[in-house]
């Protein structure tokens, strides 16, 4: 890992990944929608640079990818981190708008797929390269109150497995990082208390350690037992999670 490009790096997990890799001496290019915040982070991390990228916008993905190919030919790591989560209800008379129906699929899933596809020619040129997709424990067992978020992460989980298989004879390693509930801005505006959320620092310590081991699928904290439960007691764990929620 020499030069890393991270999406959605203006807060939470993406920002911390950028700071930690930067502090280890890696070259890091961060991206996001909030230029002021991107500039602030870069000013605190000498040598880090940024590019504006809304991952829900295919044209921006294409132009940023062209820029990376032209100006950062040594880019060897892509971290698909940008994500949004919304609570959506199909119960009442007022159904989600068409924008609400597509936002999470576009940002959390299609944006990753489009960026991977645009950057693969560059990544394949490197002797060793890595794609890291940040999915979620909710890819394994859905939380019914956030149905499209969970569907988008399940789609990313499935796509990551297929991509890994297809790229098995190339120089590109495909990694999936599945966080548990972590204290970040992801749930802002949802009015949901998060007493069980893992502190961000604790999550980052585990994630950085696990990433160094080189495993293809990285389950952090409670996601390990969630995966076992999803396999052996799928209905029970679904009911347990959703009755608590």
Binding flag, residue 61, ligand NAP (CB under 6 A): no
Q: How many angstroms separate the CA atoms of 135 and 145, rounded? A: 18
136 lines the binding site for ligand NAP (CB under 6 A): yes
Question: Is the Cβ of residue 97 or residue 170 nearer to ligand NAP in the bound state?
Answer: 97
Q: How far is CA 165 from CA 4, 136, 159, in A?
A: 22, 20, 10
Nearer to ligand NAP, 54 or 76 (CB): 54
Q: In angstroms, rounded to a whole number, what is the distance separating the alpha carbons of residues 109 and 201?
A: 26
Strand 217-219 relative to strand 172-178: parallel, antiparallel, unpaired?
A: parallel
DSSP 97: P
* Alpha-carbon gap, residue 46 to 43, rounded angstroms: 6
Q: How many CB atoms lie within 10 A of CB 37?
A: 16
Pick between residue 40 and residue 74 the one whose CB is nearest to ligand NAP: 40
**By the 8 A CB rule, do 122 and 68 touch?**
yes
Looking at beta carbons only, is 199 or 214 nearer to ligand NAP?
Answer: 199
Site string for ligand NAP, 115-134 (x = CB under 6 A): -------------------x
Pairing of strands 77-80, 49-52: unpaired
Q: How far is the CB of 79 from ligand NAP (least distance, A)?
A: 10
Q: Does 142 bind ligand NAP (CB under 6 A)?
A: no
> Given the structure tokens 């020619």, which residue do they identify?
121
Q: What is the spatial distance between Cα 51 and Cα 69, in angstroms, rounded to a whole number?
A: 13
> What part of residues 26-55 is at the interface with ligand NAP (CB under 6 A)?
32-34, 53-55
Find the part of the chain contacting ligand NAP (CB under 6 A) among 61-69, 82-90, 115-123, 207-215.
Answer: 82-90
Shortest distance, CB of residue 146 to ligand NAP, whole angstroms? Answer: 10
Q: Helix 35-44 to helix 12-23 angle, to the nearest 10 degrees?
A: 30
8 lies in the binding site for ligand NAP (CB under 6 A): yes
**Residue 12 binds ligand NAP, judged by CB under 6 A:** yes
**179 part of the interface to ligand NAP, by CB under 6 A:** yes
Interface residues toward ligand NAP, by CB under 6 A:
7-8, 10-14, 32-34, 53-56, 81-84, 107, 134, 136, 179, 181-182, 184-186
């Amino acid at each position: 890992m020499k030069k890393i490009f991270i999406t959605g790096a203006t807060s939470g997990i993406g920002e911390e990944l950028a700071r930690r890799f930067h502090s280890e001496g890696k070259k890091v290019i961060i991206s996001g929608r909030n230029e002021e915040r991107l500039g602030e982070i870069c000013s605190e991390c000498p040598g880090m640079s940024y590019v504006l990228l809304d991952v829900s916008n295919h044209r921006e993905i294409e132009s940023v990818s062209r820029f990376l190919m032209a100006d950062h030919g040594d880019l060897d790591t892509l971290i698909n981190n940008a994500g949004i989560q919304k609570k959506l209800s199909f119960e009442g008379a007022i159904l989600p708008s068409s924008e609400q129906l597509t936002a999470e699929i576009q940002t959390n899933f299609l944006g990753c797929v489009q960026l991977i596809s645009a950057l693969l020619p560059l990544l394949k040129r490197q002797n060793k390269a890595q794609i890291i997709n940040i999915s979620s424990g909710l890819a394994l067992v859905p939380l019914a109150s956030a149905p499209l978020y969970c569907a988008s992460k399940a789609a990313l989980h499935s796509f990551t497995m297929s991509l890994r298989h297809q790229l098995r004879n190339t120089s590109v390693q495909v990694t999936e990082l599945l966080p548990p509930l972590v204290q970040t801005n992801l749930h802002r505006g949802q009015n949901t208390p998060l007493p069980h959320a893992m502190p961000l620092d604790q999550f980052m310590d585990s994630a950085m350690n696990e990433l160094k081991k080189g495993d293809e699928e990285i389950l952090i904290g409670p996601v390990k037992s969630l995966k076992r439960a999803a396999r052996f007691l799928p209905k029970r764990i679904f009911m347990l999670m959703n009755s608590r929620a």
